[in-house]
Amino acid sequence: MSDLHGPLEALLLMATEPLSSVELAEAVRVPVAEVEQAMAELVAFYDETRRGFELRRVGHGWRYYTRPEHAELIGAWVLEGQQARLSQAALETLAVVAYLQPISRGRVSAVRGVNVDGVIRTLVTRELVEEVGRDEESGAMLFGTTAHFLERMGLTSLEELPPIAPHLPDAVSLDEELAGAGRMSSGVPVAGPELGGEIEERDERREEPA
């Protein structure tokens, strides 16, 4: 197999969004044609060996996905996970998204002072947060809360959120940002009884894996 396979797999596993062949070629410093060939080889290899995942070209980028035949298993596993309670780290991240949406991972990380990639993935899996678009300037993926979030919180709209949430790490600065955005309102607490507690996220001040 090509010497490019390992580096390309590593990049795709670490990426939070699809990577184009051009981006991959720049990262591994080889011509785009060589990357395209290596990606085609990986696709064929995963298909031949029937791995639990597959490599797909989506839009202009490449990304790993679980195979459709495992959808029932994964769906059951995710459903069981929905019963687990959210940790303080997840609650803080969810609150930041709820108040500042649409918001990118990078901005959430800046507000919280930690890497939130793992927690964001968990919140997306729990259907509390979803991708809502891209930032026009940076191209970064933007996230917002879902209808399921409102249902779990007993809210009919985001206008019912309270002026500030108790789980935010920097209430003063965020309050000022919210005021500037004109999004202050009143209602029930962001952290309802169904969302409190702990799951697998660890609130580490450097990174919070799912």
For the segment 106-126, what is each residue's pLDDT rounded down to a tens digit? Answer: 999 988 888 888 899 889 988
**HSE on the CB side for 43, CA within 13 Å?**
11
State residue 102's pLDDT score.
Answer: 92
Q: Which segments of the chain have a pLDDT < 50?
A: 165, 167, 169-172, 175, 177-207, 209-210
Over the stretch 191-200, which tens digit does the pLDDT of each residue have?
A: 333 444 433 3
pLDDT at position 176:
53
Place of tokens 């059951």: 76
What global pTM score does this model have? Answer: 0.47
Structural contact between residues 131 and 145, judged by C-beta atoms closer than 8 angstroms:
no
- The reported pLDDT for the residue numbered 76 is 76
Q: In order of start, what are the domains of the chain with their CATH numbers?
A: 5-69 (1.10.10.10), 82-181 (1.10.10.10)
In whole angstroms, give the CA distance from residue 141 to residue 26.
Answer: 21
Query: According to the model, what pLDDT value does residue 198 have?
Result: 37
DSSP string, 103-136: EEHHHHHHHHTSB-HHHHHHHHHTTSEEEEEE-T
What does the pLDDT read at residue 25? 96
Q: Is the bond into 102 cis (omega within 30 degrees of 0)?
A: yes
Please tell me whether residue 81 adopts helix, strand or coil conformation: helix
d(CA 39, CA 60): 13
Taking the CA atoms of residue 193, residue 197, residue 199 and residue 202 in that order, the dihedral angle to the nearest 10 degrees is: 130
Phi, psi angles (nearest 5°) of residue 180: -65, -30
